[in-house]
Amino acid sequence: MMYRDLGNTGLKVSEVGFGTWGLGGDSYGTTNDTDSIKALNVAYEKGCNFFDTSDLYGQGHSETVLQRALGQHRKQIVIGTKFGMLPHTGFDMKQDFSNGHIKNALHSSLERLNTDYVDIYLFHSPSRSQIEDSESAIKLLTNLKQQGKIKAIGVSARSPEDALWVIENTEIQIVELNFNLIDQRAIELDVFNKAAIKGVGIIARTPLSFGYLSGKLDGSEIFPQNDHRSNWPLEQRELWATAPKLFDILNKGKQRTLTQLALLFCIADPAVSTVIPGMLSSTEVIENMETSILDKLNLAELIEIRNIYKENRFYDPTAKNG
């Protein structure tokens, strides 16, 4: 496993981290805690030291499972958790970024994680106006940082455009954003260069576009209600499922999977500190973690990926309507 600086925070993170959204058991279908704990331990054994979670995932269950698996390694791992997103269904996100909520949320997260500090505490998908009106919250978080309860403050941005605004207009140290083979808005907005100039750490989320870039889904799957992908219309899921065939040409003659190609793309820019694929099994963990030892993508491959992206449409902007 290779490691990178998380911006100017002083933290070093594995370039392939672990996204624990699915471990909560309410967003990617029902999960088995025994399997989740095994997957987390395999990741740690493979050199993964960054684990991304939230008090939203399973209403805190993801944090609890993470503690059960790796609590004994607390000093050796970097934990990022999020606050402000309340339980909801569909795309109607309920949120609370008030100071009272932040204090209670952090206290509860620390209890579930059985720790007295969290390495990174991130606003969970705030709107632009919520970021602009976050002066009071930032003061509170800064105070909590001074108390040693937080090492770094971050924003898990709702969009790459919001991520850019955070980088250019705040002193936030870490930004988490959507970035993958079929969502290259961060490149078009020059987010990575601007983050590097300011020393902001970048966490790339949704690297597999909800699993579709693995090539293991065809878009016709029927997901249970406790799988967030059931919220998306069939047409959008089918559109995502077309992508792997387009990019598979880059793997011709290469000893790597489509999943590994997708992750290699996310960490091609050195400004990206870590990529956080979601994983539910040890098999997925091994495949993802071994990406770090593969040859990085070369310039010709990156140009070809950009061309494929520009020549195709992968998202219907009306998909969230209704």
Q: How do residues 288-304 score in pLDDT, each as one tens digit?
A: 999 999 999 999 999 99
- What phi and psi values does residue 85 have, to the nearest 5 degrees? -90, 125
- What phi and psi values does residue 254 have, to the nearest 5 degrees? -110, 145
SS3 47: coil
Contact 177, 191 (CB under 8 A): yes
- At residue 25, the pLDDT reads 85
Angle at 87 between CA 83 and CA 93, to 5 degrees: 80
SS3 289: helix
Q: What are the residues whose beta carbons fall under 8 Å from the beta carbon of 13, sequence distance 6 or more?
A: 3, 4, 6, 49, 50, 78, 273, 274
- The low-confidence residues of the chain, meaning pLDDT below 50, are none
- At residue 160, the pLDDT reads 96
Contact 54, 66 (CB under 8 A): no
Query: What is the length of the chain?
Result: 322
pTM, full prediction: 0.95
Query: Which domains are assigned to the chain?
Result: 3-311 (3.20.20.100)
Residue-wise pLDDT tens digits, 178-229: 999 999 999 999 999 999 999 999 999 999 999 999 999 998 899 998 888 9
Angle at 263 between CA 11 and CA 84, to 5 degrees: 55
- At residue 293, the pLDDT reads 96
CA gap 247, 275 in Å, rounded: 19
- At residue 251, the pLDDT reads 97
- At residue 316, the pLDDT reads 87
321, burial (CB in 10 Å: exposed 0-12, middle 13-18, buried 19+): exposed
- At residue 322, the pLDDT reads 53
Neighbours of 300 (CB within 10 A): 9
